[in-house]
A and B are shown apart, each in its own frame.
Chain A
Amino acid sequence: MVGILDVNNIHFSYRKGIKVLRGVSFSLLKGESLTIFGPNGSGKSTLIKIILGFIKPEEGNVKFEGRDTLKLNSRERGRIFSYVPQRPSLTFPLTVFNYVLLGRTPYINGFVRKTDYDKVLYWMDRVGILHLKERDFLSLSEGEKQLALLSRVLSQETPIILLDEPLSHLDLRFRTRILKILLEVKREGKSMISVFHHLSSVKFLSDRVILLKNGRVLKKGVKKEVITPENINLLFDGEVLLDLSG
């Protein structure tokens, strides 16, 4: 597999003196799913925000196919990374179709083309929400909203998808449904960086795992080698009893 993203020596602090990230580095391969796992406050979400370009690191850089993404404009970045937050935030009425259509924004020059509409319909169909297209987004259930968000992100057709705890508020049915779709697109060549709270999601979707503790990489490697009772104990200071069998 080919490396497409290099995250090099990222340092960041929100206020002077309190370091959130202390020299985090890793690389991502094409078609690979990488999970960042760690306790609350370990810097996972901050790292995702830095990769997306929402905040600037104090030190270090992020390179997509050798290009420094922090130097690209937002539109160019919108064609490389797409982002699934914990929950979609929308307070105004919008049909599900128009909501998913927003995923095409980085490609629209002036007006929406037929190919944009086709892609939206294609992804809504694949995610299984085509029947909801005329519904108001605000009237959907939490799970349906997350599926609409996923359709929007997939319509964005970026090589890398970043997911920040996208399943934590969903029931098992929607969680499984979303994980299956993500696994499918991963097999089709999409790369992913994710933050999950449930080890079951990590086990299902991830190829490699990075354990992050106090802003530093504790361990990184293939999931079988990293997700071990010893490492998890180390990560949570021995406060988690774990049964990883099965």
Chain B
Amino acid sequence: MKKYFIPSLILILFLIFILSLSFGAVEYEFKEIIFFIFHPSSGEEIILKVRLPRVISAFFVGASLSLAGLLSQTLFLNPLADPYLFGISSGANFFVTLSLFLGLDSLFAHSLSVFSFVGALFSTFLVFMISRIKGKISPLILLLSGIALNYLFSSFSSLFTVWGRDVLNKSVFWSMTGLSNATWLSVKVIIPFFFLSLIVSIFMYLPLNVYILGEHEAASLGVNVVFTRTILLILIALLTGSSVYVSGIIGFIGLMVPNILRGIYGTDHLKLIPLSVASGGALLMLSDLISRTVFSPTEIPVSIITSLLGVPFFFYILWRERPW
């Protein structure tokens, strides 16, 4: 399996990319897409202005969520950790809704992305503090706490949405549309957050490999635990915050991808980081393709597809880990 995984992944990525560009309200033939790739200036408006930014955004959101999932599992030493399940995405979503409510969205350029990051950081920190409650909390209790926080933030978001009619229109639209609103601007916003997080996490592969031994053993092996933990918190928030800003809440990518890869490659972050990024990107591109073609011409939110895939997987991991 190991031997064929990387070549298959590259092939699948390429195929999904081509398919995603060809299918939609207007369909293109395979050779038209290939021609377009080699002659991007040939000017197919729909591909260039609508489909391409959407497909690229799907890749980077999927890659970001997958990497955020991997890093959360490392931070919480818990294979069930995921930005969606642990309430990090809904924390980001809540802060965006709140800032829309308060009219802070036009404070400065992309101010919503900053609030999204702050919300993600706040909720990651909150879950982290719960995980540090004296007497080492069990992975199951931590998961339940995350799910409870998820509900809390979602309820707050709904509350503020109800309170402000303008907010209602903007934020419901914003959190439900997923990737259908993605433009080149979305790509521009997510790329710096993504690459910054990717580069920093690759540089930190060694402390991350050691961090999974728990803080005391990691410290005894020369890892600066406080520094590693702080960087992890920030990276998870950057990745989740920027994804939520671009596409609203999309669940389970961060749970599925790293767990499958860990099963194949073991826990070596030097391999897991790039592979999570590529596989997470591929999975969200595929989910997005399904979401806009399966009931064509009607488009369904991509989060429905990821949940349909993710929930059975969640039960599988729960059964495998048996954290009770």
A98 to B205 alpha-carbon distance, docked (Å): 14
- CB contact between B209 and one of A82, A85, A89, A102 (< 8 Å): that residue: A102
Q: How many A-B residue pairs have CB under 8 A?
A: 76
In-complex Cβ contact of A53 among B78, B210, B219, B267 (8 A): B219
Q: Is the CB of B216 within 8 A of A83?
A: yes
Cβ-defined contact, B217 with A93, below 8 A: no
**With an 8 A cutoff between CB atoms, is B25 at the interface?**
no
B268 in contact with A98 (CB, 8 Å)? yes
The one of B73, B78, B214, B220 that contacts A81, using a Cβ cutoff of 8 Å = B220
8 contacts between A and B (CB under 8 A): A52-B220, A74-B219, A75-B224, A78-B222, A83-B217, A88-B213, A91-B139, A93-B262
Q: Is A25 located at the chain interface by the 8 A CB criterion?
A: no
Contact with B223, one of A76, A105, A156 (Cβ below 8 angstroms): A105
Within the complex, the shortest CB–CB distance from B174 to chain A, in Å, comes to 36
Q: Which of the residues B73, B219, B221, B262 comes within 8 Å of A54, measured between beta carbons? A: B219
Contacting pair B267 A79 (CB below 8 A): no
Q: Which residue of B lies closest to A89 (CB)?
A: B214
B136's closest neighbor in chain A, by CB? A89
Closest A residue to B77 using CB positions = A91
A75 adjacent to B222 (CB under 8 Å): yes
- CA of A76 to CA of B77, assembled, Å: 25
Chain A residues near B48 (CB-CB < 8 A): none
Q: Closest approach, in angstroms, between the C-beta of B243 and any C-beta of chain A? A: 24
B109 to chain A, nearest CB (A): 38
A57 sits at the interface (CB 8 A): no
Q: Is B140 an interface residue (CB 8 A)?
A: no
Q: Which residues of B contact A103 (CB under 8 A)?
A: 221
Whether B43 sits at the interface, judged by CB under 8 Å, is: no
CB-CB under 8 A from B224, the residues of chain A are: 73-75
Q: Are B78 and A91 in contact (CB under 8 A)?
A: yes
Chain B residues in the interface with A (C-beta under 8 A):
73, 77-79, 139, 206, 209-210, 212-217, 219-225, 262-263, 266-268
Is the C-beta of A18 less than 8 angstroms from some C-beta in chain B? no
CA distance A124 to B139 in the complex (A): 32
* Distance of A76 Cα from B220 Cα, bound (Å): 10
- Please state if B213 and A102 are interface contacts (CB–CB under 8 Å): yes
Number of A residues, CB within 8 Å of B: 32
The contact of A105 among B212, B221, B263, B268, by CB within 8 Å, is B221
Q: Which of B217, B219, B266, B268 contacts A89 (CB 8 A)?
A: B217
Return the contact of A93 from the options B139, B209, B263 (Cβ within 8 A).
B263
Could you tell me which residues of chain A, from 80 to 96, have a CB within 8 Å of some CB in chain B? 81-83, 85, 88-95
Measured between beta carbons, the chain A residues less than 8 angstroms from B266 are 93-95, 98, 136
Interface centre among B215, B216, B268 (most CB of A within 10 A): B216
Q: Does A77 contact B (CB under 8 A)?
A: yes
Pair A94/B267 contact, Cβ less than 8 Å: yes
Report, nearest first, the 5 A-B pairs whose CB atoms are least far apart: A78-B222, A83-B220, A106-B222, A75-B222, A92-B267
Chain B neighbourhood of A53, CB < 8 A:
219
A92 with B262, Cβ < 8 A, contacts A74-B223, A74-B224, A78-B222 known: yes
Q: Give which listed residue, A52, A94, A108, A156, contacts B219 with CB less than 8 A.
A: A52
Further 12 A-B residue pairs, CB within 8 A, beyond A83-B220, A108-B206 = A52-B216, A74-B225, A78-B223, A79-B222, A90-B212, A90-B213, A91-B212, A92-B79, A94-B267, A102-B221, A105-B223, A106-B221
Contacts of A75 in B (CB 8 A): 222, 224
Q: Which residues of A contact B213 (CB under 8 A)?
A: 88-90, 102
Q: Enumerate A83-139 residues with CB–CB distance to B below 8 Å.
A: 83, 85, 88-95, 98, 102-103, 105-106, 108, 136
Q: Which residues of A contact B222 (CB under 8 A)?
A: 74-79, 105-106
A73–B323 CA distance with the chains assembled, in angstroms: 35
Instruction: Name the residue on A nearest B207 (C-beta).
Output: A105
Is the Cβ of A78 less than 8 Å from the Cβ of B209?
no
Please measure, in the bound complex, the distance between the C-alpha atom of A81 and the C-alpha atom of B217, giving whole angstroms.
11
Residues of A within 8 A of B139 (CB): 91
Asked whether B267 lies within 8 Å of A78 as measured between CB atoms, the reply is: no
Closest to A95 in B: B266
Closest CB in chain A relative to B145 CB, distance in Å: 18
Tell me, in angstroms, the Cα distance from A193 to B132 when the chains sit together. Answer: 29
Query: Closest Cβ of chain A: how far from B314's Cβ, in Å?
Result: 17
CA distance A53 to B219 in the complex (A): 8
Q: Considering the complex, give the chain B residue whose CB is closest to the CB of A97.
A: B266
A95 to B209, alpha carbons, bound, how many Å?
12
Which residues from A are CB-within-8-Å of B220?
Answer: 52, 54, 78, 81-83, 162
Known: A90-B213, A94-B266. A78 touches B221 (CB 8 A): yes
* Complex interface: chain A residues within 8 A of B214 (CB): 89-90
Residues from chain B with Cβ under 8 Å of A77 in the complex: 222
Cβ–Cβ < 8 Å partners of A162 in chain B: 220
**In whole angstroms, what is the CA distance A79 to B223 when docked?**
11
Residue from the set A76, A79, A89, A136 with the largest chain B CB neighbour count within 10 Å: A89
A22 to chain B, nearest CB (A): 23
Distance in angstroms from A206 CB to nearest chain B CB is 21
Taken together as a complex, chains A and B put the C-alpha atoms of A98 and B223 apart, in Å, by: 17
